[in-house]
């Protein structure tokens, strides 16, 4: 990389920002989201093929195929930010934008062709284009443009940023799986009422253990420990994560096979199990590649690597990208619905919990207000400005309070009760989704407050052990 460009980028970054401007963390997030989206779109595309030729199969096939292409380029752009490759990060991001526009046009065509109202189509356009456009606008800033042709390594190789992601995902998984186990144990005899129930309990108990391992790894990485300790803790997680993913998918397959008697149902179940296995495997495999390549590059460099020191932002820009993406999604789903008078959007955000459970739909103004504060906090964290602590704290307090207020009826009623385990019921799936929303809505704000206000230990040089 040109030395002059590196110096310019450093000057633009400021003393609190890492050498890679936080783009490596963005790459890891985009790889994760792109991979999950790819699996979801593949599930969407294959489902009509194995459901007995249901009406609208060609529309689902077209939507799924275009979604797969977009997700692949989303993942590829993340890989370019993280590892480089044949295409520069600048070119990969530009290609992702163009593919997203093309995919949005296909979705609009299918929706209008099938008679979907314009009031539903417009919010969908906003949601599909919100992140690519935001990404293009944010990365057009001079400090990002200075490094988009070749992103330098951050001071700690990105380990603390990955730790922030592991901490958040680990706590979400622990809380969500804990919700399910609590609801199951609350019912007298529910765990031992049938082999299927016992199998479900075992799967979620294993997922709790997996999430706890990830939380520990994330905590170690965000505590400023040596690179050796962070890598070892992450290694324990992703090794167990791969094994537990296969076991959990096998258990789900056995459970489904025990309750199905028709060939069509079995095929649909196999597609679902494949999607579940994909979702469970993605993150451990991404982390394994990330840590392996980073550590191997240091081993190859030897004494010339100069060791690693704690990154100046202590992983907070990673949290900023998470908040920015979440806020953009929330605003793009709520604002069009509000302007068009179609009620609240956000089918998957923290505000759906009470609405899906029949406790009353949350006002879109709640979502817009919290998303606005979240957007402010995300921008301050990405820039690591003088206001990042107060912005993160205000967002965390407001979002956690709003989540508890809106989801309290469900929490008070036992987090779903027996319906959570009524396999095959639509209400069961809604309750599981709502529980996941509560976990996300509580974990991210609380972690934001804690990480933004922690006491930072002095920076120390660390070396990867040979």
Task: Evaluate if residue 303 carries a pLDDT over 70.
Answer: no
Instruction: Tell me: pLDDT of 362 over 70.
Output: no
Please tell me the predicted confidence (pLDDT) of residue 419: 47
* pLDDT per residue as tens digits for the range 233-267: 899 999 999 999 999 888 888 877 776 555 556 67
pLDDT at 81: 94
The pLDDT of residue 438 is 80
Sign of CA dihedral 15, 19, 24, 26: positive
Report in angstroms the alpha-carbon separations of 389 from 158, 173, 212, 234, 325: 21, 26, 27, 27, 19
**Cβ(41)–Cβ(11) below 8 Å:** no
Q: What is the mean pLDDT of residues 270-281?
A: 85
Domain range summary for the chain, segments of one domain joined by + = 1-152, 155-307, 312-466
User: Please, which residues bridge with residue 461 across strands?
Assistant: 309
Q: Give the confidence band of 45 by pLDDT, cuts at 50, 70, 90.
A: confident
86: number of Cβ within 10 Å: 8
pLDDT score recorded for residue 451: 94
Q: Which residue matches tokens 């979620």? A: 204
**Is 10's pLDDT higher than 50?**
no
* Residue 396 in tokens: 């965390």
Q: Which of 180-189, 350-359, 411-420 has the lowest mean pLDDT?
A: 350-359
Encode pLDDT of 74-114 as tens digits.
Answer: 999 999 999 987 789 999 999 999 999 999 999 999 998 88
pLDDT tens digits for range 429-446: 556 666 777 888 889 999
d(CA 104, CA 61): 15
pTM: 0.86
3-state secondary structure string across the chain: CCHHHHHHHHHHHCCCCCCCCCHHHHHHHHHHHHHHHHHHHHHHHHHHHHCCCCCCHHHHHHHHHHHHHHHHHHHHHHHHHHHCCCCCHHHHHHHHHHHHHHHHHHHHHHHHHCCCCHHHHHHHHHHHHHHHHHHHHHCCCHHHHCCCCCCCCCCCCCHHHHHHHHHHHHHHHHHHHHHHHHHHHHCCCCCCCCHHHHHHHHHHHHHHHHHHHHHHHHHHHCCCCCHHHHHHHHHHHHHHHHHHHHHHHHHHHHHHHHCCCCHHHHHHHHHHHHHHHHHHHHHHHHHHHHHHHHHHHHHHHHHHHCCEECCCCCCHHHHHHHHHHHHHHHHHHHHHHHHHCCCCCCCCCCCHHHHHCCCCCCCHHHHHHHHHHHHHHHHHHHHCCCCHHHHHHHHHHHHHHHHHHHHHHHHHCCCCHHHHHCCCCHHHHHHHHHHHHHHHHHHHHHHHHHHHCCCCCCCCEECCCC
State the average pLDDT for the chain. 81
For the chain, the farthest-separated pair of C-alpha atoms sits apart, in whole angstroms, at 69
Which tokens in the block code for residue 390? 């107060």
Residues in contact with 192: Cβ distance below 8 Å, sequence separation at least 6, in sequence order: 198
Backbone angles phi, psi at 308, to 5 degrees: -125, 150
So what's the pLDDT on residue 359?
Answer: 38
Higher pLDDT, 421 or 209: 209
Q: Is the pLDDT of residue 421 over 50?
A: no
Task: Of 185-194, 250-259, 366-375, give the lowest mean pLDDT range.
Answer: 185-194
Confidence band, pLDDT 50/70/90 cuts, at residue 218: very high
What local confidence, expressed as pLDDT, does residue 425 receive?
45
* Burial tier of 136 (Cβ tally within 10 Å: 0-12, 13-18, 19+): middle
Residue pLDDT, tens place only, 105-144 = 999 999 988 888 888 889 899 999 999 999 999 999 999 9
Compute the average pLDDT of residues 270-290: 89
- Residue 28 to residues 5, 67, 127, 224, 290: CA-CA distances in angstroms? 24, 20, 21, 20, 8
Q: Are 228 and 465 in contact (CB under 8 A)?
A: yes
364 versus 439: which is more confidently predicted? 439
Q: How confident is residue 319, by pLDDT bands cut at 50, 70 and 90?
A: very high
Sign of the CA dihedral with 221 first, then 227, 233, and 239 last: positive
């Amino acid at each position: 990389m040109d030395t002059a460009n590196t110096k310019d980028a450093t000057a633009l970054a400021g003393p609190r920002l890492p050498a890679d401007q936080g783009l490596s963390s963005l790459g890891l997030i985009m790889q994760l989201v792109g991979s999950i989206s790819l699996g979801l779109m593949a599930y969407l595309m294959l489902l009509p093929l194995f459901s007995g030729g249901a009406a609208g199969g060609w529309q689902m096939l077209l939507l799924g195929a275009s979604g797969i292409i977009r997700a692949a380029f989303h993942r590829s752009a993340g890989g370019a930010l993280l590892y480089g490759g044949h295409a520069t990060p600048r070119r990969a991001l530009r290609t992702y934008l163009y593919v997203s526009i093309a995919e949005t046009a296909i979705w609009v065509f299918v929706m209008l062709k099938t008679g979907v109202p314009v009031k539903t189509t417009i919010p969908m356009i906003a949601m599909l284009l919100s992140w690519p456009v935001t990404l293009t606008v944010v990365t057009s800033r001079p400090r990002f443009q200075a490094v988009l042709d070749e992103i330098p390594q951050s001071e700690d190789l990105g380990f603390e940023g990955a730790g922030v992601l592991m901490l958040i995902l680990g706590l979400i998984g622990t809380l969500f799986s804990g919700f399910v186990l609590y609801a199951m144990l609350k019912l007298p005899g529910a765990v031992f009422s049938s082999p299927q129930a016992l199998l479900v309990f075992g799967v979620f108990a294993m997922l709790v253990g997996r999430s706890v391992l990830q939380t520990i790894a994330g905590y170690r990485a965000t505590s400023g420990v040596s690179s050796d300790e962070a890598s070892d803790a992450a290694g324990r997680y992703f090794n167990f994560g791969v094994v537990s993913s296969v076991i959990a998918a096998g258990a789900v397959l056995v459970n489904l096979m025990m309750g199905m008697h028709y060939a069509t149902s079995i095929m649909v179940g196999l597609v679902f199990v494949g999607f579940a296995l994909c979702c469970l495997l993605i993150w451990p495999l991404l982390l394994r590649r990330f840590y392996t390549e980073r550590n191997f590059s240091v081993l190859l460099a030897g004494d010339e690597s100069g060791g690693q020191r704690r990154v100046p932002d202590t992983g907070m820009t990673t949290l900023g990208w998470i908040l920015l993406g979440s806020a953009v999604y929330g605003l793009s789903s709520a604002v069009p619905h509000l302007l068009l008078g179609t009620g609240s959007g956000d089918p998957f955000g923290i505000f759906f919990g009470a609405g899906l459970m029949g406790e009353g739909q949350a006002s879109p103004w709640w979502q817009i207000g919290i998303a606005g504060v979240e957007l402010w906090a995300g921008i301050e964290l990405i820039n690591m400005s003088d206001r990042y602590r107060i912005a993160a704290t205000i967002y965390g307090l407001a979002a956690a309070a709003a989540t508890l207020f809106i989801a309290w009826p469900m929490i008070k009623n036992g987090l779903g009760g027996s319906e959570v385990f009524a396999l095959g019921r639509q209400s069961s799936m809604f309750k599981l989704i709502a529980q996941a929303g509560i976990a996300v809505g509580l974990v991210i704000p609380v972690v934001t407050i804690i990480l933004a206000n922690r006491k930072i230990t002095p920076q120390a040089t660390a070396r990867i052990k040979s």
